Amino acid sequence: MKLFLKKLFAFLVIPFALSLVTGFVLIAYNSNSINYKLGDGITGIFLGDSHVRCSLNDSLMPNRKNVSGNSESLYFSYYKLEKLLDENQNIKIVYLGFSYHSLSNYYDDFITGNFSNSVSPMYFYTLPSKERLKMFYWNREKLFSYVKELLSTGYKSTLNESPADFTGGYSNVFTNTMALDTSMDKRIKFQYYSKNKLNNFSEINLLYFYKILNLCKTKHIELILLKTPLHTYYEKRVPAEYVSRYNEIVTENKLKIIDFANITFSDSCFLPDGEHLSVKGADQVTKEFL
Amino acid sequence: MLFNSVSFAIFLPIVFILYWSSTNRSLRFQNILLLISSYFFYASWDWRFLFLLVFSTSLDYFTGIKIYEALNRKKRLFWLWLSIIINIGFLGAFKYYNFFASSFAEGLSLLGFKANLSSLQVILPVGISFYTFHGLSYVLDLYKKKIKPERDFITYSVFVSFFPLLVAGPIERATHLLPQLRMKREFNYSKATDGLRQILWGLFKKIVIADNCAGYANTIFNNSIEFNGSTVLIGALFFTVQIYCDFSGYSDIALGTARLFNIELLRNFAFPYFSRDIAEFWRRWHISLSSWFKDYLYIPLGGSKGNTWMKIRNTFIIFLVSGFWHGANWTFIIWGLLNALYIMPSIVFNTHRNNIDIVAKGKQLPSVRDFLSIALTFSLTVLAWIFFRAATVHDAFSILSKIFSSSLFMIPHFPGIRNTVPILLMTGIFFLIEWFGREQQYPLANLGIKWNRPLRYSMYYAILIAIFWFGGQEQQFIYFQF
């Protein structure tokens, strides 16, 4: 048995050591090499998740930059914002994507749960060391594939294949879509309910929402909440508890908010889920901004 | 605790080292350790169902002894039926209640009655179909006086719950596994390395081939309405590869793990996609289940004795029950019946044992006739898997109608999944390795054994790198749901 274990150890020690060294090198390299500079002319940024990402075409807005990313929870947004504000002293205004769904704990899955494995590697190199250790812990059941994703993300970044992934950006390829009732029902169910019970509010997202508020206050940055357009069918089905909690947060903190409730968006401005915008919808929202 | 999880990667070495270093002094210690670790393994899914497993084990242990000690046939039958009814009762309650309730209500509504049968939020205990069949085979063998009862409760409990086979088989037989558990195991270097090789091959099948194919199959099956016929057909092909690599990959890991403890489990797959007819396919696919049905259902029903109609009836019963065993859904029942239809010509013309031997044995390539037979059998299997995978019968028929439409000749597309080319390449290489290794128990068994160490290790490293780098999004083993 000893011979067996010895040989097995000798066989495994090489790839294990190599992976370990490569991992450390990539983490160290990427942590210091990500470029968060957005350009001197940028004075305002759009921060948030895919809703913001597909809604605001920043190429039409000279002083603004859309830095939102897919499935980006406020937890990741906070650490990204910290870095961006450190590197870009000209930023004076932050538009933060914040809607009803941001309150739901379904978002926790993207940080600590099942989807963390596919979402968090993109933000891993932006996180401080303590949070990185937490990420390993949260992904402990899928550690091999998590490390693989980290190495893959780090490797691509090292080769400069996809540097924009760390900071996000406007992205929308949906030109021929329509809001669909069935998809909207599905979406509502996914975001606000699990096993037919109403989801709790996300403690992590709320904690980091307030951290973002404080960060902006400390750095004298104007924070404006951005509630991207929702299809009326979808909006009517958002649970009342979420609507009232949302309104409470906005009024209690005396926050400025941009929403598009008074503007009509046709069905073709949306993706089938009724809460993401198509290119047509994004054009309309961007024009409103201009 | 999945076989491809970090928890298992920690759990297995601990049990292995304890087994060979601390408990190898006596058989009893070895079995106690296997039992504790098996219960720990099972409890990691849901500890509440551990009570059900212990109850099922105790039931069969005691009824087994009672069957053996009963003085007359009437009493023996009583204890046998008691075990069967309670075992099947649990299986039915957990697995089939909602199916029967909803089917009954639908049936009544067709007749104009309104039934309001409440459906239960039942969680299916992992592995219940497998360990129930384990227990049943034991009491049935006792009833038929094939074996003597196991008097040691620990040994019997290990037979039912040995962790490599606990959640998805192979479905073991008392005649095969119990004798091994009654003897103290000694460490065997070549068996242990062979076990590791089989685990490596199983992981490659599962993580690289099955999980990647699952990405395509899930996208296409879940949104089949959006795709043309050729893409849907490709989805069916991906599922065909997925289910084989998923389940046989699981079986390889189970067999390899057991071999680390010097325990041999029943072989579950023997390269089924190289079968030349459906009868051969069923001799090579999920062998432990097929042979279970053959021994405990088909033969008691009369088997192939009797006239042609009897054979046809028995075959239909076997496939119907087999389909139903897989899950409480009409899709599985139709899948079973479709396979019964496929096999029917060979039953009627008595050609079902024409292809017993390994295809093209001792040759590199098959004959044209064999190749065409393999292609035809494979195609029929792909069509049957559509029912197995589809969520409803309606979905399955709509997928089939797409495949058999003019859109079959449109250009297919691979929806939004990265690494398509390397995955297809690796799937191709995988089938080549399977083909050239088809005379072994698993393809890697002899591959590279005579190579020098650096070359052999390079091959193992290449497989490890492929597992690490090209592994798909982690999916649960398909057969865990059964």
Find, in chain B, the residue whose alpha carbon is nearest to that of A139: B6
Q: Does B193 sit within 8 Å of A4, measured CB to CB?
A: yes
Which chain A residue shows the shortest CA-CA distance from B208?
A145
Residue with structure tokens 């004798």?
A: B179
Give φ, ψ of A94 to 5 degrees. Answer: -120, 125
Average pLDDT over residues B180-190: 93
pLDDT digits (tens, 9 = 90+) for B251-265: 999 999 999 999 999
B187 Cβ under 8 Å from any chain A Cβ: yes
Section A174-199 average pLDDT: 87
* Gyration radius (Cα) of chain B, Å: 23
* Contact by Cβ (8 Å): B145, B151: no
Tokens of B407: 């859109």
C-alpha distances in angstroms, A19 versus B81, B387, B477?
57, 43, 27
What are the C-alpha distances in Å from B194 to residues A76, A275, B295, B431? 46, 54, 30, 21
Instruction: Find residue A197's DSSP bridge partners.
Output: A194
Distance CA B439, CA A245 (A): 66
Q: How far apart are CA B286 and CA B198, in angstroms?
A: 17
Res. B459 pLDDT band, cuts 50 70 90: very high
Cα(B218)–Cα(B482) distance, integer angstroms: 18
Q: Which residue of A has its CA nearest to B473?
A: A145
B326 labelled catalytic: yes
Residue window 120-179, chain A: list those with CB within 8 Å of chain B. 140-145, 148, 152
- Nearest of B414, B448, B477 to residue B206 by alpha carbon: B477
Average pLDDT (B119-139) is: 81
Contacts of A146 in chain B (CB under 8 A): none
Question: In B, which residues are within 8 Å of A1 by CB distance?
Answer: 20-21, 187
**Residue B60 pLDDT level (bands cut at 50, 70, 90):** very high
User: Is there a contact between B6 and A142 if contact means CB atoms under 8 Å apart?
Assistant: yes
Q: Which of A15, A144, A148 sits opposite B6 (nearest CB)?
A: A144
Span B414-442, pLDDT tens digits: 655 566 788 888 899 999 999 999 999 99
B179 DSSP 8-state letter: H
The residue-averaged pLDDT of A23-36 equals 78
Can you tell me which residue has the tokens 């009897």?
A: B310
Q: Nearest to residue A270, comparing CAs of A187, A167, A165, A168?
A: A187
CB contact (8 A) between residue B7 and residue A141: yes
Q: Do B473 and A3 touch (CB under 8 A)?
A: no
Q: Give me the pLDDT at residue B217, please.
A: 87
The least confident of A121-135, B393-407, B465-479 is: B465-479
> Above 90 in pLDDT, residue B35?
yes
Q: Please give the pLDDT value at position A16.
A: 84
Confidence check: pLDDT of B448 > 70: yes
| Among candidates A4, A15, A141 on the partner chain, residue whose Cβ is nearest the Cβ of B464 | A15
A117: which chain B residues are within 8 Å (Cβ-Cβ)?
Answer: 474
A62 has pLDDT over 70: yes
b/e burial code for range B435-460 (CB count within 10 A of at least 16 → b): bebbeeebbbeebeeeeeeeeeeeeb
pTM confidence score:
0.80
- Chain A nearest-CA distance from B446, in A, is 19
For residue A18, list chain B residues with Cβ-Cβ distance below 8 A: none
Q: H or E segment at B351?
A: none
**A15 contact residues in B (CB cutoff 8 A):** 461, 464-465
C-alpha dihedral, B455 to B460 to B464 to B469, nearest 10°? 40
The strand pairing partners of A59, in sequence order, are none
| Element of type H or E holding A198 | strand A197-198
pLDDT of residue A148: 80
Report, as an integer, the average pLDDT of A168-182.
81
- Of B352, B255, B227, give the one whose Cα is nearest residue B294: B352
More confident residue, B48 or B281: B281
Partners of A116 on chain B (C-beta within 8 Å) are none
Return d(Cα A157, Cα A226) in angstroms, integer: 30
- For chain A, say whether B5 makes contact (Cβ under 8 Å): yes
Tokens representing A54?
A: 């597909």
Quickly list DSSP for B184-239: -----HHHHHHHHHHHHHHHIIIIIIIHHHHHHHHHHHHTGGGS-HHHHHHHHHHH
How distant is the Cα of B142 from the closest Cα of chain A, in angstroms?
Answer: 37
- Give me the sign of the Cα torsion angle B154, B159, B164, B165: negative
The answer to whether the Cα torsion of A141, A145, A149, A151 is positive or negative is positive
A141: nearest CB among B5, B461, B468: B5
- Strand A193-194 and strand A256-259: the pairing is unpaired
Whether the pLDDT of residue A244 is over 90: the answer is yes
In this prediction, residues A190-209 reach a mean pLDDT of: 91
The answer to whether A142 contacts B21, with C-beta atoms less than 8 Å apart, is: no
DSSP state of B417: -
Quick check: B469 contacting A, CB < 8 Å? yes
List, as one string, the DSSP characters of A40-91. TT--EEEESSHHHHTT--GGG-TTEEE---TT--HHHHHHHHHHHHHH-TT-
End-to-end Cα spacing for chain A: 73
Catalytic residue among B134, B176, B286, B326: B326
Residue-wise pLDDT for A34-49, tens only, equals: 778 888 888 999 999 9
Structure token digits, residue A174: 């949906």
Please name the residue of chain A whose CA is at the shortest distance from the CA of residue B453. A11
Residue A1 sits at the chain B interface (C-beta within 8 Å): yes
Of A4, A141, A148, the CB nearest to B469: A148
Under a CB-based contact definition with an 8 Å cutoff, are residues B444 and B197 in contact? yes
Amino acid at A262: N
Q: Which residue has the tokens 């809604």?
A: A55
A104 secondary structure, DSSP code = B
Cα-Cα-Cα-Cα dihedral sign, residues B268, B273, B278, B279: negative
Number of H helices, E strands in chain A: 13, 7
**Nearest residue in chain A measured CA to CA from B187:** A1
With H, G, I as helix, E, B as strand and everything else as coil, classify residue A201. strand
Q: Cβ of B189 under 8 Å from any chain A Cβ?
A: yes
* Alpha carbon of B468: minimum distance to chain A alpha carbons (Å): 7
Per-residue confidence (pLDDT) for residue A170, from 0 to 100? 84
CA dist., res. B41 & res. A111, Å (int): 27
DSSP letter for each residue of A268-288: GGB-TTSSSB-HHHHHHHHHH
- What phi, psi does B241 have (nearest 5°)? -70, -40
Give B156 to chain A, closest Cα distance, Å.
27
The residue type of A127 is L
Work out the minimum CA distance from B211 to partner chain A, whole angstroms: 12
DSSP for A120-183 reads THHHHTTS-HHHHHHHHHHTGGGHHHHHHHHHHHHHHHHTTS-THHHH--------S----HHH
Q: Return the closest-CA partner of residue B61 out of B128, B142, B125, B126.
A: B142
Q: Other CB atoms closer than 10 Å to residue A290's CB: what's the count? A: 8
Give me B361's structure tokens: 């044995």
pLDDT at B116: 61
Residue A161: pLDDT band by 50, 70, 90 thresholds? low
**Number of helices and strands (H, E) in chain B?**
20, 0
pLDDT, tens digit, 9 for 90 and up, residues B79-118? 999 999 999 998 888 877 777 777 777 777 777 776 665 5
